[in-house]
Amino acid sequence: MAYSMTGYGRGERIFESRRYTVEIKSVNSRYCDINLRIPRIFNYADAKIRKMVSDRLLRGKIDMFINYEDNNSEGTEVIINEGLALEYSKAVRRIAEVSGREDDVGAARLSLYQDIITVRQSELDEDSLYSELEQAVSDAIDGMIEMRHTEGENLAADIIGKVSSLETLRDEIAEYSPSVVADYRQRLSDRIDVILAEDKKDFYDESRLAAEVAIFADKCCIDEEMKRLVSHFAQARKILSSDGSIGKKMDFLIQEINREINTTGSKANDIEITNRVLKMKNLVEEMREQVQNLV
């Protein structure tokens, strides 16, 4: 199964007064790069969440956003710094005296001064909270995997279609290539006929023509390249239908396919083969771009 690196997932779980909302999105990347934004109370779970994401998503530039709400006031303690409040009050009264202004700072405004009031949460059951959060994270990852799978299968189907087109072009080249040597022999023979006068043909050694044709045939022989391309195309189909991470395997295989096509083009010495090689190179370049988005 093929999976794209592009996707989105969302998970939400509610437990009594606690709501967990998780959103996750990703784009292609060579590695698993995770950007995690979580409430401070879950800082202790940062490493666990990252491992959970990397184990299941494998690759991609991943952004995860976690939101936590607790509407239950139990366990929340409001603390008043009475000594500091008294000192602020004295300072405000003194300011009013020296400035000749009215002291109109009430308790409500005084409570807004820095460090007068602090809110403290009672001891949290970290294991219980993480167990609840884990379910919301898992839901978001499930959603992303489903989207990645849909897009990945579409990409794989399109790449396999291009492999089929490459196979067709390869077969055309393999069928046509033997005629290249025969055409060369005929052209060379015709040229010799033009150059040599009629009375000198009897002195021309036909073995020299045969030797020239043999050298040319050896230089333009693409049998090995054609055989390797057959193997590479079969391997591409096998990889695209396998499970797990296939992007890097396909990227390497496409480099090998491109190398054989380039070698074929450099040996071809024929316009018909060259035209097909150019078509193959365009297809391979399109495949290379698509493979960059596979996990």
Judge contact between 146 and 277, C-beta under 8 A.
Answer: no
Tens of pLDDT, residues 2-19? 899 999 999 999 998 899
Token couple for 208? 């020299």
- 1.20.120, 1.20.1630, 1.10.150, 1.20.140: CATH of 150-291: 1.20.140
Q: Which pLDDT band, with edges at 50, 70 and 90, does 284 fall under? A: very high
Euclidean distance between the first and the last CA atom of the chain, given in angstroms as a whole number: 10
Strand partners, 23: 10, 65
Is the pLDDT at 66 greater than 70? The verdict is yes
The phi and psi torsions of 2 (rounded to 5 degrees) equal -100, 140
Within this chain, domains 7-72+126-148 and 150-291 share the same CATH topology: no
* pLDDT band, very low/low/confident/very high, at 188 (cuts 50, 70, 90): low
pLDDT at 215 over 80: no
- Tokens read off for 167: 């196979």
Domain map (residue ranges) of the chain: 7-72+126-148, 76-121, 150-291
Give percent of the chain with pLDDT exceeding 70: 84
> Is the pLDDT at 189 greater than 80, yes or no?
no
d(CA 43, CA 64): 14
Q: What pLDDT score was predicted for residue 216?
A: 53
Torsion, Cα 108 112 115 119, to 10 degrees, reads: 80
Using the Cα atoms of residue 235, residue 240, residue 244 and residue 248 in order, give the sign of their dihedral. Answer: positive
Cα(27)–Cα(60) distance, integer angstroms: 6
Report, as an integer, the average pLDDT of 152-168.
Answer: 96
Residue 31 pLDDT > 80, yes or no? yes
Tell me what pLDDT residue 183 has.
60
**Whole-structure pTM value:** 0.70
Rounded Cα–Cα distance for residues 168 and 204 (Å): 43
Give the Å distances, CA to CA, from 83 to 70, 77, 88, 117, 118: 31, 18, 9, 12, 14
Q: Are 173 and 269 a contacting pair, CB within 8 Å?
A: no
CATH architecture under which domain 7-72+126-148 falls: 2-Layer Sandwich (3.30)
Question: Residue 171's pLDDT band (boundaries 50, 70, 90)?
Answer: very high
Residue 107 structure tokens: 């308790």
For position 8, what pLDDT does the model report?
96
Q: C-alpha angle with apex 214: 210 to 217, nearest 5 degrees? A: 135
Strand pairing category for 7-15 and 32-37: unpaired
Q: Can you tell me the distance from the alpha carbon of 74 to that of 286, in angstroms, rounded to the nearest whole number? A: 59
268 pLDDT more than 70: yes
More confident residue, 204 or 251: 251
Using alpha carbons, select from 283, 287, 288, 277 the residue that is nearest to residue 170. 277
